[in-house]
Amino acid sequence: MKNFFEHQDEAKRTTTYLIFLFGCAITFTILAMYAACILIARQNGVVQSSWQPAWLGTIALSICLIVAFGSFRKMTTLRGGGKVVAQGLGGQLVGQDTSNPQERELLNVVEEMAIAAGIAVPEVYLLPEASINAFAAGLTANTAVIGVTQGSLTQLNRDQLQGVIGHEFSHIVNGDMALNMKLMGLVHGLLFIHLIGRSFLFSSHRRHTASDRDKQGGAWLAFACSMTVIGAIGWIFGQMIKSAVSRQREFLADASAVQFTRNPAGIADALRCIAQQSKRSQISSTEAEAASHLFFNNVSALSSFASAFSTHPPLAERIRRLGSDAAIGTSSPARTQAANRSLAGITEGASPATLSSHNPIEQRSSAMAISSFAAADEVERSTDRLEAPNRLAPDALVADIGIVTPAHLTQAQSLLKHLPQRLLQAVRAQTGAVAVCYGLLLDPDTEVRSRQKQIIADSSRTVYDLLEKIEPLLEQVSVRSRLPLIELCIPALKQLKPEVAAQFFIRVKALIKADGKLSLNEFALQSVLQYRLATYFKPEQTAAERASQLTDVWSDSLLLISALAKAGQTQHSQIDYAFRCGIQQLPGVTKQTMPADMPTCTLSNLSKALRRLRQAEPKLKRAIAQACAHTVLIDGHTTDQEAELLRAILITLGCPVPPFLNLLPAR
């Protein structure tokens, strides 16, 4: 089974292959347009020879510019994130504070999946469609959204809905979502040729009507017709490429959904519900076809019958591949009711210390295989018997990146269950989310805390009053539950107006500076907030250069490992040992290249180093994550500071980390 970093490499290779295929489609378009132009010119006596290299060069340049402009125009629009796609499809944002039971259940499922997968909690959009379908859209996990049709809420039970959402989360984690967004841009570039040809056709038709004997007008009409038809054929080729790539990824996403939930019947029954519907999974929006490959199933009747244009495999084949358990159709109402009771039974007095003790390390090598689906019930029984480990191996930690097991999902559900209900209500509203973030930055020192509260009161009396009410609850939150609580705040914070968000970041920095120093806990919270929200409110205008060699980020890696080594150790010998254990995991490091001394690390420099390390190629990033894990876990223990800092670092490196840290034994 491929790990997260291998999936990222595969997505990169697939992107390169896609560019090649679209290059072939563009080449066909160029040659076809050249042939059409030569034919028209010879019939009108403009040229005698069929070989006109100057014409070929002009046509090739023109076609490439048209496709590039069309793709650039579409990608510029898509840079707004998944919400642009969702709104274009007619979706309405589901408010985090919704009181609708079906919408609340949907948000609960999405929150569970996001926490279990270690990615940002996506915004959820509801499409006014009676059919059963869903999609994930966005260029990055931080700008991703989940879209679900109204029919999915009314016709699916919780198990089935969880299977569908798990399928979409697989697309986010494995890099399919970003690839699909690029496909939209490339296909639109080919379509742009057809659109320009059609506009020429309409204008030439008017000219030709005005002067039927105008020979030049007839030639222009023929040219416009040729461009329209050839552009349409090129677009059809693009659609076929898009569909072929999409079909390859759907089986993997189905398997991942089973891996998330250990319940193959859930997603299989959802597929059966689609098969039994008259409209199946059809979407009526005019934008649906352009986004067809983003969805859970085919969005039109044509794609369901024409295999070349089908973005998804046949329903029967998808169900068959889910295994014998799925064939029976045993999505249990009792299981659904139990999950709903678990989420509804949130109590304010519960302690986070009672979180699930399931082992986060599962045998994942067969999780994606068909045989694993039939063994899902046995996995569930065996997982329930496991107790928390006394030691988590660094290699297992890195192997868990991007891999969500039922134990991770169980723990995410348990985390939500044991957080005070008042806090959960707070993070689902903009004011409450801001208050929770501010509250987690309050200093234990009374004098410093007083200054911080004054800063909050000066910025917003409403936020200050709410903070006063929830402050006792925030004090009960363990250090290891702080980052998950921050993650729950992200959807509400994304709804802030840009100018309000800018002021929010200013207040966060002011609260951190109130004591004149920056602690590791403050750094962890600030880093996650900046990483999750900065790209949402201010997308990067230019992509930074990717680092493929360790030499490109050697000094940054040393800073990072040095910070981790010092975070959980007090004695110099222990710090040095942890540092060297981490450095040895980096590729090509020998005794000769091992640094004699650790670099002096400030959290300001560490923040800059993280931004550069984030641009590392997947293979190199895996080695860096491995080094971080060995630095923290080599002694078999971890402190709360180490756990929070390590999780924050891996998150800001772009590594989706399941909540394994909540299971590590504190020292």
3 state DSSP class of 136:
strand
Examine the residue annotation and report whether 168 is marked as an active-site residue of this protein. Answer: yes
The span from the CA of 337 to the CA of 334, in Å, is: 5
According to DSSP, the residues that pair with 295 across neighbouring strands are 135
Phi, psi of 78 (to 5 degrees): -70, -15
HEC string for 430-465: HHHHHHHHHHHCCCCCHHHHHHHHHHHHHHCHHHHH
Q: What token pair was written down for 186? A: 């490339």
Which one, of 71, 65, 60, lies nearest residue 28 by Cα?
60
Q: Any alpha helices (H) in 364-420, and if so which ranges? A: 370-374, 376-385, 394-399, 406-418
Any idea what DSSP says for residue 518?
A: -
Phi, psi of 441 (to 5 degrees): -100, 0
The span from the CA of 93 to the CA of 86, in Å, is: 9
3 state DSSP class of 118:
coil
According to DSSP, the residues that pair with 136 across neighbouring strands are 146
State the burial class of residue 345 (Cβ atoms within 10 Å of its Cβ: 0-12, 13-18, 19+).
Answer: exposed
The span from the CA of 521 to the CA of 532, in Å, is: 17
According to DSSP, the residues that pair with 123 across neighbouring strands are 145
Terminal-residue alpha carbon distance, the chain: 34
Contacting residues for 255 by C-beta, under 8 A, at least 6 apart: 321, 322, 367, 368, 370, 373
Residues 113, 115, 121: CA angle, nearest 5 degrees: 80
The span from the CA of 402 to the CA of 404, in Å, is: 7
Phi, psi of 339 (to 5 degrees): -65, -40
Which one is catalytic: 103, 111, 129, 168? 168
Q: Which residue has the tokens 């890099």?
A: 175
Residue 587 to residues 103, 549, 610: CA-CA distances in angstroms? 48, 9, 19
Q: What token pair was written down for 478? A: 């363990």
The span from the CA of 149 to the CA of 143, in Å, is: 20
Any idea what DSSP says for residue 98?
A: -
Residues annotated as part of the active site: 168
